Chains A and B, each alone.
Chain A
Amino acid sequence: MQASHDTHDHAHGDHGDHAHHGRAPGLMGWFTTTNHKDIGTMYLWFSFVMFLVGGAMSLVIRGELFAPGLQYVSPEFYNQMLTLHALIMVFGAIMPAFVGFANWMIPMMVGAPDMAFARMNNWSFWLLPPAAILLTGSLFVPGGAAGTGWTLYPPLSVQMGLGMDMAIFAVHILGMSSIMGSINIITTILNMRAPGMTLMRMPMFCWTWLVTAFLLIASMPILAGAVTMLLTDRHFGTSFFNAAGGGDPVLFQHIFWFFGHPEVYIIALPAFGVVSHVIPAFSRKHLFGYTSMVYAIAAIGLISFFVWAHHMYVTGIPLTGQLYFMYATLLIAVPTGVKVFNWITTMWRGELTFETPMLFALGFLFLFTVGGLTGLVLAITAVDIQLQDTYYVVAHFHYVMVAGALFSAYAGAYFWLPKWTGRMYDEALGKVHFWTSIVFFNVAFFPQHFLGLAGMPRRIPDYATQFTDFNAVSSIGAFGFGFSQLIFLWVVLKNIKGGEAAPVKPWDGATGLEWTLPSPVPYHTFEDPPVITEEHLAAAH
């Protein structure tokens, strides 16, 4: 994923004059770099490390749940694991992964030399490690980490110890990082496109990130507000969420989910973007319905702000509220459906091949659709009352999140890896990674639908004996899935060390400016804006 540092002197032609502006040598170079490719690389490595940390926590959870009874961990530690697993996966793994893709690809896709605010870009990344240290370090303070679930609901979160404050500060820092990253992305996309790269010619990944960045700017301050109110309730005697002082615990949930639902699409939209590049490339066709895809993304982004209380059907919101949120939630299924139909029509009558990126994109489509359809079931308030806070919901959001985000991130990583490192990855290993992942994923999460239907609540460290069998199956799947991810690490390390040199355009069906650059891409690219020709254009036309 790196290797660009030793290649800048190979950057010939138009860019050769600038090649000496490389990264400073050694570790200091990584601290001070303002190069979008370096920063993208750091984001991607950071997110993968956090993914392994969060994954290890999920294996603690699944290990404990393999059989009824308490075997390995105490209930309070179990709660800390499920909280940190979610916070780390959402804020430490998935979001930074797609910011990494954005850093690497957006300037190259729109024909810009770098991100608009290169120093701020450095700062956005280097805020992440302190946040990660706060989150994981909270396990080692007296009382341990927050044990509230990632939703941090008061009054439970008011009862927590120092670990909770550390989580709150981590969320603040991560929010700052996201907002700065978003400002950078919006400015780059709006102001730094090469001449001729009009908005409606822009690659789909840039479109999804443009909408996502606005969602982040609108929603992260709301989360920061919510956790700040929590902090003052905890330490400074305010009563925002304390009924005894005139507050309302449910207020926190409204604020949290007003952030939390857009957050779902913050994770999903860039994933949609990646898939919208991979599917056309391996279908040797243009993306079907580019315009409607753009409108669908915008519609999803907008509606995502108006559906938050479908996470709160059982909190006692009024009937009219339940009805409104049910209708609004059903509405969001329409643009999401449009996207799925467009992807499928893109493949229709194509010339399909199934290299690893395409396999992951298909895996994404398959699993995301399952998660989307169970989401439709959950949207129906009366049915949700049977399923809320059960394993059905756990299954649902893992299908949407792991499939929607992780599989798409893998599709993107395999797709662009040859461009980044200048070498082809091991295709056979990539395929093994895909097949083990998708099989074990389904073994881990499909049975959880049945557990939820039968009434097993989520976030419990021990369960009644009738849930034993499916839990055992699910745990086996989870361990298989977890260890399968190490194959990816192997593929990437192998790729960095060596391998067959990648051509400028390793995928014959791929389109877009990034495929006009040498492999590996030079340290500096597009210092002079490229001339946009039809041939260059991304999947747009």
Chain B
Amino acid sequence: MTKDTSNQFAGLKTVLTVLLAGSLAIFAGVAQAEWKLNLQEPVTDLARRIYDLHTFLTIFVTIIFVGVFGVLGYSLVMHTRKRGHKAADFHDNLTVEILWTLIPAVILVAIAVPATIALVNQRDTSKADMTIKVTGYQWKWGYEYMSGDATGIKFISVLSTPRAQIENKEAKGENYLLEVDRHLVVPVNKKVRILTTATDVIHNWSVPAFAVKTDAVPGFVRDAWFKADKEGTYRGQCSELCGKDHGFMPIVVDVVSEAKYAEWVAAQQKEMAAAADDPNKVFTLDELVKRGEKVYTTNCAGCHQPTGKGVPPAFPALDGSAIVKGPKERHLAIVINGKPGTAMAAFGAQLNDADIASVVAYERNAWSNKLNDVIQPAEVKALRGK
């Protein structure tokens, strides 16, 4: 078979031509902005440091690659039977072996130095100006401001891309899959400490422009920080597989001026006060169902589906379900406390009494479940903690 080598470079030439044409096409495409080739534009000192470190490493490994394969390439062209090259006979050289063990080792130490400095900086969460707790839920993020003027502001942030866009029934919007109903808002030039945790499975809170990526582990708290120096809206996505809708729980952070931030805090506080329900208010069935439908769409429809049919067996149907049609105490208890070992979260921690009462009332009256049940927030309150 070794005779059959006459045509060996014909194939190579074709392939190289194709590759060249392909790369030209790619570089032509780069001009059209969508072919992003590098990390996102960093907006913190740390992210810039990492950006530079990555650039340095990429250039460095490219040089190694070109060097090593340059030598090999020379050999592949020159030292061939086709060119009549005769094999030399050498197979050991201790000096060379020692050199190509030691030189890479020294180079690696040289790389380790800036890498260590960047990492030590990255992990230093001390002296933060403010702290925000981030909770991962299947499949949304909860934010709670833990310090400063905004203390006590908390909300849930859910994907706002319409279902129809995902299912290709309408054109995709500008920030397809990277938009949420409520943005996290932070002031510019402040060191923001993020505490992450989760209630169900491991999630990961990640915003590339800040070089933040930290797991949110249920039962534990991790921390990270960023100090953004450029106002703007920055987007990230959950970066740890967390089940069905892992791809649908983005993160959106607005970095705003100090003044705007103060305005936002004031507005939030006002809104929260206004939205706080009178604990003794008595709802009518219509009010409950109307409000419950909204709560259901945001929190429940992802798994149990807008039709209430679910995706059995992982996500059971609610339409005609024995639990929904059974005693309301048991139904409420599952919504409040969740169901361990399944994706059913404990919504008691996420929703207020009126929301829980209305969503349960909605479920008991929607689809074919026409139970005509009325549930008041006070009943939810009574069941909490049981």
Contact = CB atoms under 8 A, between A and B. Distances in A.
Interface of A: 68-71, 74-76, 79, 142-143, 147-149, 153-156, 158-159, 161, 234, 242-244, 248-250, 283-292, 314-316, 319, 322-323, 326-327, 330-331, 333-334, 337-338, 340-341, 344-355, 362, 365-366, 369-370, 373-374, 376-377, 380-383, 385-386, 388-390, 424, 427, 431, 435, 438-439, 442-443, 450, 453-455, 457, 459-466, 468-470, 473, 506-509, 541
Given A351-B86, A506-B1, 19 more contacts: A68-B172, A153-B202, A155-B201, A161-B314, A316-B220, A330-B108, A334-B104, A350-B75, A352-B79, A352-B80, A354-B5, A382-B118, A382-B119, A386-B54, A386-B208, A439-B18, A460-B247, A465-B172, A466-B34
A316 B222 contact: yes
A388 B53 contact: no
B61 A443 contact: no
Contacts of B287: none
Question: Majority SS of interface residues in chain A?
Answer: helix
Interface stretch (B36-44, B273-281, B357-365, B370-378): B36-44
Contact of B36 (A147, A381, A450): A450
B219 A380 contact: no
Contacts of A465: 172, 176
A468 B35 CA distance: 9
Given A234-B341, A289-B92, A450-B37, A69 B168 contact: yes
Interface in B189-241: 200-202, 204, 206, 208, 211-215, 217-220, 222-223, 236-241
B236 A316 contact: no
B34 A334 contact: no
A352 B93 contact: no
Contact of A70 (B168, B215, B313): B168
Contacts of B167: 69-70
Counting chain A CB atoms within 10 Å of each CB, the highest count among B76, B204, B214, B244 belongs to B244
Contact of B61 (A148, A242, A286, A373): A373
Contacts of A74: 311
Interface stretch (B64-72, B148-156, B289-297, B328-336): B64-72
B322 interface: no
Given A383-B54, A450-B35, A283 B247 contact: no
Interface in B301-334: 311-314
A71 B241 contact: no
A256 B160 CA distance: 36
A457 B202 CA distance: 15
Nearest to B49: A382
B219 A331 contact: no
29 contacts: A70-B167, A76-B244, A153-B241, A248-B219, A249-B218, A250-B217, A287-B91, A288-B91, A292-B97, A314-B204, A314-B213, A316-B214, A319-B123, A323-B116, A338-B101, A351-B87, A352-B75, A369-B69, A381-B119, A386-B208, A431-B11, A455-B237, A457-B206, A460-B246, A462-B166, A464-B176, A466-B36, A470-B35, A509-B2
B261 to A, nearest CB: 25
Given A285-B88, A455-B236, A459-B246, A376 B34 contact: no
Nearest to A382: B118
Nearest to A372: B61
A345 B178 contact: no
A205 B185 CA distance: 59
Interface of B: 1-2, 4-5, 8, 11, 15, 18-19, 22, 26, 29, 34-40, 47, 49-50, 53-54, 57-58, 61, 64-65, 68-69, 71-72, 75-76, 79-82, 85-93, 96-97, 100-101, 104-105, 108, 111-112, 115-116, 118-120, 122-123, 165-168, 172, 175-178, 200-202, 204, 206, 208, 211-215, 217-220, 222-223, 236-248, 311-314, 340-343
A33 to B, nearest CB: 31
A365 B57 contact: no
A469 B108 contact: no
Contact of A349 (B18, B82, B85): B85
A463 B26 CA distance: 20
B202 A249 contact: yes
A466 B235 CA distance: 13
Contacts of A354: 5, 8, 80
A506 B217 CA distance: 58
A70 B92 contact: no
Contacts of B214: 314, 316
B240 A341 contact: no
A329 to B, nearest CB: 10
Contacts of B241: 79, 148-149, 153, 156, 459
B108 to A, nearest CB: 4
A313 to B, nearest CB: 9
Contacts of B211: 382, 385-386
B68 A334 contact: no
A376 B61 CA distance: 8
